[in-house]
Structure 1
Amino acid sequence: MKDLRARIQDRQAQHLYRQPRISDSPQQPVMVINGKTLLNFCSNDYLGLANHPQIIKAFQQAANDYGVGSGAAHLINGHSRLHQQLEEALAAFTGRERVLMFSTGYMANLAIANALMDKDDIIFQDRLNHASLIDGALMSEAKLIRYVHNDIKHLSQRIQSNPSPDAMIMTDGVFSMDGDVAPLRELAEIAQHHQLWLMVDDAHGFGVLGKTGAGLVEELKLTQKDVPILMGTLGKALGTAGAFVAGSQDLIEYLIQVARPFIYTTAQPPAIAGATLASLELVKTEHWRREHLQQLIQHFRQGATQLGLQLMDSNTPIQPILIGDSAKALQISQRLQELGLLVIAIRPPTVPTNTARLRITFSVSHTLEQVDQLLMGLSQACGE
């Protein structure tokens, strides 16, 4: 039997120990965390919709109409009219033939890899992909081959060295710990040239990027033919919960038949779908949210550069500051908390060894004055 306590103590010694923080307030810039009022810079609520009154109202109305739990899987009797309306709305918004809902992005990524690939196939993945993409590939039993982050040349070499009649490229759209974006246009060209599937996890781009907020695929003007498999989540920019896979009619119909994370789980509450329909309308109509978000990002990057902080190559709401040492990253995060700022230290194994960082994220709900408060805190905490 493994000595679990010793393993926990070992993680503590390596400054890799984690524990949940208890929140007593909704997602917003100023929150009560572990009993202390803090200015929050670590939420993925990019468009400030998680506590929006119209979305709350839609959630409440849907709960009145449909109750709380869905009661069963989608293929039994848990698929409500609201679920169906949301799938149709998301298909139209993303320019795809059809959409399938999942309870989480993790489940969606597991479903894609396991349904479409098997032990005789190959999956090519960016080295910095999210854990759910990696786990999906491992569980599929396909051969997993990693390529250097955003390195098209290295990916091409790996494809040429590993021919396969059935292979897939899987990548994040926006990389969750670095904030940079995948070279999606080049990936689409490679996938088409070699006749490979291309799957994009746009969890952190959906709602934020693109003219209407449909994500990185929209921003780069790519079609369903260019990117056959699109996964997006609803618990970040859209402020609700859950995820979806968008693609062709045949793709979605096949996932319905064989994707175990879809078939063998209770459907999300209909009220979540009702709230998301309201959220989607705000994403489509209130373009000022993305514009203000970009203003906050540029203001922060200019100020951080003046302070001499080591920023990463990101123009998204994810703005990491590279620290390197895990103990130092933790120390700075704790000092910021003492100053009333919630900025989380991200450490291995979430990021590669010696690349611990402060992961700063921005929301439309932040003001320029609050960004200045963050910069002042960083100047103090990083300079000590």
Structure 2
Amino acid sequence: MSDPNQVVYTDRLPGRSLVLDGVEHLFCSGTSYLGIACNKQFRQYLVEGFCYYGTNYSSSRNSNLQLQVFEEAENYLAAYTGAEAALTMSSGYLAGQTLAHSLQGSGRFIYAPGTHPALWRSPADAPHPSHDYDAWVAWLLQETPVMPEKHLVIVTNSLDPLQARKYNFSWVSALPQNKQITLIVDDSHGFGVTGQDGAGIYGQLGHLQQVRLVVISSMGKALGIPAGIILGDQQLINRLRASSFFGGASPAIPAYLYAFLRSEEVFAEARRQLFHNISFFRQRLDRPELFRSFADYPVFSTDEQGLYTYLLEHGIIISSFRYPTPSDEPITRVILSSLHTSEDLERLALLINNYKH
């Protein structure tokens, strides 16, 4: 199991720990930042939702029968994030594809490094893996003024979850004023954790007047909801509702939206615990320079590839896999969640402090 390319199989959902070959390992990987999949109160709400709505809703959102829970969830999400309107779909991937294909042909698409395939119109849109984000921003500001297209669709992530880097969007104000610009931001790894009360990046960028802001996100990471959302202006959301991608797809599972609407305090408490865990862990690191990280975010990225094997030998599993291709160097990260205890983090920090590289 010391090779980052080797797949580890388990028949149990990992929480703060994971049992492999009869041995319990501390689990510091994955994207369930708030630990919602293991949260007892959320599970109780979800069971209530299943009893009320059944296990699935096998119909189109555009059918002649409408479940109110979809509108309730979308109204809540719009108010929560500060967006004019919101749309839910069955996954973040489908939300991205719906948005990208609905805007297809309207202008020139420009993709930032690291953009997820959910927002590609085809594999040809894949950003070059060697491109640096800062270099891309410099190129963007130099080239967009002379591009012949009047409408530019700029697609980027809100942050880099692999290198644990939060992006600064001050460059948006320097974009050419004589262009129509749609800025699409994928907030899948921020939503539920970053922003005011975990509302993500929309509220931080909503003041930008020179661009049409659209935020898409998976709800399946921090919030533990198998669904995707699109946040934007009402005109755009209405257009997406009329698309074949939206009308032809099954919607998000109503029981999960039922649980989501009742779990505001569940999310808030998990977020408070997560922030406590991040601070607790950071304060106990003798060599914080081993990691790239930013405030109140649970990902600690490192170039120390040997840390994976070292921690595994001491019963701790962290994230390490080759990306974006099997020939690339492994991306190695310690990822915390709200499920970790103080004892877990003491043990983790002590082992890292004792790591010789």
TM over 0.5: yes
What runs of 5+ residues in structure 2 fail to find an aligned partner? none
Q: Which of residues 153, 157, 161 is equivalent to 2:138?
A: 153
Residue 336 (structure 1) shift: 2.1
Q: Which of residues 186, 189, 206 is equivalent to 1:222?
A: 206
Aligned residue for 1:228, secondary structure, equals: strand
Aligned residue for 2:159, secondary structure, equals: coil
> Is 310-319 or 31-40 further displaced after alignment?
31-40
Aligned residue for 2:110, secondary structure, equals: strand
Report matched runs for 1:60-139 at 5 Å: 60-76=47-63, 80-118=67-105, 121-133=107-119, 136-138=120-122
Q: Does 1:24 align with 2:12?
A: yes
Instruction: Report the counterpart of residue 320 of structure 1 in structure 2.
Output: 301
Question: 1:177 touches 1:351 (CA, 8 Å); kept in 2?
Answer: no
Aligned residue for 1:76, secondary structure, equals: coil
Residue 91 (structure 1) shift: 1.1
Instruction: Report the counterpart of residue 296 of structure 1 in structure 2.
Output: 277
Residue 314 (structure 1) shift: 3.0
Classify 1:289/1:251 alpha carbon distance in 2 versus 1 (closer, same or farther; 3 Å): same
Q: What letter corresponds to residue 338 of structure 1 in structure 2?
A: E
Instruction: Report the counterpart of residue 337 of structure 1 in structure 2.
Output: 312
Report matched runs for 1:282-293 at 5 Å: 282-283=266-267, 286=268, 289-293=270-274
Q: What letter corresponds to residue 232 of structure 1 in structure 2?
A: S
Question: 1:238 touches 1:279 (CA, 8 Å); kept in 2?
Answer: no
Q: Does 1:311 align with 2:299?
A: no
Classify 1:319/1:57 alpha carbon distance in 2 versus 1 (closer, same or farther; 3 Å): same
CA distance in structure 2 between the aligned counterparts of 1:231 and 1:129, rounded to whole angstroms: 12
Q: Could you report, residue by residue, the CA deviation over 1:308-331 in whole angstroms, capped at 9, with x for unpaired residues?
A: 7631243321211123xxxxx3x6
> Is 271-280 or 15-24 further displaced after alignment?
15-24
Question: 1:98 touches 1:248 (CA, 8 Å); kept in 2?
Answer: yes
Q: Could you report, residue by residue, the CA deviation over 1:313-352 in whole angstroms, capped at 9, with x for unpaired residues?
A: 43321211123xxxxx3x6424422322111213122699
Q: Which of residues 313, 328, 345 is equivalent to 1:371?
A: 345
Q: Which of residues 319, 323, 327 is equivalent to 1:348?
A: 323
Residue 201 (structure 1) shift: 0.8
Q: Which of residues 37, 47, 50 is equivalent to 1:50?
A: 37
Q: What letter corresponds to residue 314 of structure 1 in structure 2?
A: F
Report matched runs for 1:118-267 at 5 Å: 118=105, 121-133=107-119, 136-138=120-122, 148-151=132-135, 152-187=137-172, 190=175, 194-218=179-203, 220=204, 222-223=206-207, 225=209, 228-258=213-243, 260=245, 262-267=246-251
The percent identity for this pair of structures is 24
Residue 172 (structure 1) shift: 0.7
Instruction: Report the counterpart of residue 260 of structure 2 in structure 1.
Output: 276
Query: TM-score, normalization: structure 2?
Result: 0.85
Residue 34 (structure 1) shift: 6.1
CA distance in structure 2 between the aligned counterparts of 1:352 and 1:128, rounded to whole angstroms: 17
Question: 2:32 touches 2:337 (CA, 8 Å); kept in 1?
Answer: yes
CA distance in structure 2 between the aligned counterparts of 1:163 and 1:313, rounded to whole angstroms: 39
CA distance in structure 2 between the aligned counterparts of 1:336 and 1:53, rounded to whole angstroms: 29
Instruction: Report the counterpart of residue 383 of structure 1 in structure 2.
Output: 356
Residue 20 (structure 1) shift: 5.7
Q: How many residues align?
A: 351
Query: Greater share of helix residues, 1 or 2?
Result: 1
Classify 1:311/1:73 alpha carbon distance in 2 versus 1 (closer, same or farther; 3 Å): same
Q: What letter corresponds to residue 300 of structure 2 in structure 1?
A: Q
What runs of 5+ residues in structure 1 fail to find an aligned partner? 1-14, 324-328
Classify 1:289/1:350 alpha carbon distance in 2 versus 1 (closer, same or farther; 3 Å): farther
Q: Could you report, residue by residue, the CA deviation over 1:269-298 in whole angstroms, capped at 9, with x for unpaired residues?
A: 211111221234533xx3x54444334324
Residue 58 (structure 1) shift: 1.6
CA distance in structure 2 between the aligned counterparts of 1:278 and 1:105, rounded to whole angstroms: 21
CA distance in structure 2 between the aligned counterparts of 1:34 and 1:98, rounded to whole angstroms: 48
Q: What letter corresponds to residue 74 of structure 1 in structure 2?
A: R
Residue 145 (structure 1) shift: 8.8
Query: TM-score, normalization: structure 1?
Result: 0.80
Question: 2:144 touches 2:176 (CA, 8 Å); kept in 1?
Answer: no
Instruction: Report the counterpart of residue 9 of structure 1 in structure 2.
Output: none
CA distance in structure 2 between the aligned counterparts of 1:351 and 1:193, rounded to whole angstroms: 42
CA distance in structure 1 between the aligned counterparts of 2:21 and 2:260, rounded to whole angstroms: 29
Question: 1:239 touches 1:279 (CA, 8 Å); kept in 2?
Answer: no
Residue 77 (structure 1) shift: 6.2
> Is 152-161 or 230-239 further displaced after alignment?
152-161
Q: What letter corresponds to residue 63 of structure 1 in structure 2?
A: F
Residue 370 (structure 1) shift: 1.5
Question: 2:82 touches 2:202 (CA, 8 Å); kept in 1?
Answer: no
Question: 1:310 touches 1:321 (CA, 8 Å); kept in 2?
Answer: yes
Residue 54 (structure 1) shift: 2.4
Classify 1:231/1:20 alpha carbon distance in 2 versus 1 (closer, same or farther; 3 Å): farther
Q: Could you report, residue by residue, the CA deviation over 1:253-278 in whole angstroms, capped at 9, with x for unpaired residues?
A: 11122252x33322232111112212
Residue 361 (structure 1) shift: 1.4
